[in-house]
Amino acid sequence: MLYWSAVHQEWAEAKIEEYQAENPNVNIELVTFGSTLDMNPKMITASAGGTAPNLVFQDRFLVAGWAGRGGATPITDLLPAYDINADDFLEATWNECVWLDQIYGVPFDTDVRAVFWNPELFAEAGLDPDTPPPTHDWEAMVELAGKLTKSASDGSIEIMGFIPTQVLSNAYGNGGDYIYVWANDGDFLKDERTAWMDNPKIVETLQWEYDITNAVGGIDKAAEFSSGWPSMAGFNPFGSGYLAMMVNGGWNLADFAEYYPDLEFNVGIWRKRGQEDDYVNFSGGFCLSLPAGAQHVDETFALVSFLSSYEAQLDAAIRYQRIPALKAAVADKALLDSSPYPEKQKIINESAAYGRFRPVSPVAGQIHSYWVRPGTGRDWVMYGEKSAEQACADMNVAIQEELDAFWSSVEG
């Protein structure tokens, strides 16, 4: 049996050894890759050549595109025999595995984002360090970003207040670009065939991101500040006390404990625009899936059931400081106690209940590229090349072309 994965190698090795001890007639070969971007093209080639692996640890947001192009095996009919039920999983993680009413993966874990702020820098700006930023009030957030930003005598930025986008690097955060759209009641698609990148709510969101960037000095000064922070562990402007606030993944707790043990910081969850008590979050994560052409499906799914169990998910979550996809495991005491910041971890883990997911679409990757990757849709606005309205209109044309091409390819 072949099992391909780009993450969680040590956990997989341990669980495979355990499974084989219980099932001595089963032989499992683990094949690892540097990333899913490296793994997936090879998997497609293997499926086309009749040598598909039996099981893949897949990035969930890619499942619809993979399944829609005939690359995955539906597992809907296999679930009842193993008592795998949608109600047991965080809703966002389950729904991300569904394409055209078929299930293509068993959710394994997730990650969510939090609002991190530095209480010392808030206090220095005359703000209550223990009061969460007013994320529900976008006009106040523009003002806050500017107020928290401090310039050196030469005009360069010494303390950066807040940059909402990933426009320059993960130094400023991760995942916020999606959260803000959802907080503003926006969506990227009208339906499975129709792009909605020109949604007025997305236009408003992009304009707001631009306004905050201008409030801290503009994209050029933000880029200059960012250039001093390599995108690697141990080089973090927030951890070093030079970024007052960010939206970033819960995995930062482990990094702070390792690299910035003396850091004082608070965490909260982003609120919907205009609503102080309604929250929204972004869920990513992985699932266990069977490629098209996979052999020995029943035997493979027995392994899937073992690897996706409560115990297996909890083991990986503790090992890698992730959040299990099984709802019952999210607040497991052993998981929270394994965190260097148990109370903060509890806030973050519980916010998975507000999690939303990237569009479940065969063009999810293209939407992600235009909305998040450097040099495309969002950056046209940040660098003053296009207005928010024009950028969104152009993105909409591009994504609609991708959708039309996909549906033409599968329907003939």
Give the per-residue pLDDT at 166.
74
Residues 275 and 288 in one domain: no
Residues 207 and 129 in one domain: yes
Structural contact between residues 97 and 63, judged by C-beta atoms closer than 8 angstroms: yes
Residues 67 and 117 in one domain: no
Cite the beta strand spans of 52-111 per DSSP E: 55-59, 98-99, 102-103, 106-107, 109-110
Q: HSE on the CB side for 318, CA within 13 Å?
A: 14
Residues 157 and 200 in one domain: yes
- DSSP characters for 131-178? SPP-TT-HHHHHHHHHHH-EE-TTS-EEEB----S-SS-TTSBSSHHH
**Does residue 367 sit within a domain?**
no
pTM: 0.94
Residues 143 and 221 in one domain: yes
Q: What CATH number corresponds to the domain at position 142?
A: 3.40.190.10
Residues 175 and 260 in one domain: yes
Give the per-residue pLDDT at 169.
67
Say which residue the tokens 């209940």 belong to: 353
Provide the number of structural domains found in the chain. Answer: 2
Give the per-residue pLDDT at 227.
82
Residues 91 and 122 in one domain: no
**Does residue 366 sit within a domain?**
no
Give the per-residue pLDDT at 144.
98
**Does residue 369 sit within a domain?**
no
Residues 105 and 122 in one domain: no
Q: Give me the helices (H) in 5-164, please.
A: 9-22, 36-48, 63-68, 91-95, 119-124, 138-148
**Does residue 361 sit within a domain?**
no
What parts of the chain have a pLDDT lower than 50? none
Residues 127 and 145 in one domain: yes
Give the per-residue pLDDT at 170.
73
At residue 17, the 3 state secondary structure works out as: helix
**Does residue 251 sit within a domain?**
yes
Structural contact between residues 193 and 401, judged by C-beta atoms closer than 8 angstroms: no
Containing domain of residue 275, as a range?
Answer: 113-280+375-408
Give the per-residue pLDDT at 79.
97
Give the per-residue pLDDT at 160.
96
Residues 256 and 118 in one domain: yes
**Residue 227, Cβ neighbours under 10 Å: how many?**
11
Give the per-residue pLDDT at 360.
93
Give the per-residue pLDDT at 412.
72
Structural contact between residues 361 and 367, judged by C-beta atoms closer than 8 angstroms: yes
Residues 119 and 231 in one domain: yes
Give the per-residue pLDDT at 373.
85
Give the per-residue pLDDT at 233.
67
Residues 216 and 81 in one domain: no
**Does residue 214 sit within a domain?**
yes
Give the per-residue pLDDT at 393.
98
Q: Which two tokens stand for residue 25?
A: 């007639």
**Does residue 365 sit within a domain?**
no
Give per-residue burial for 174-200: e unless 16+ CB within 10 Å, then b.
Answer: bbbbbbbbbbbebebbeebeebbbbbe
**Does residue 104 sit within a domain?**
yes
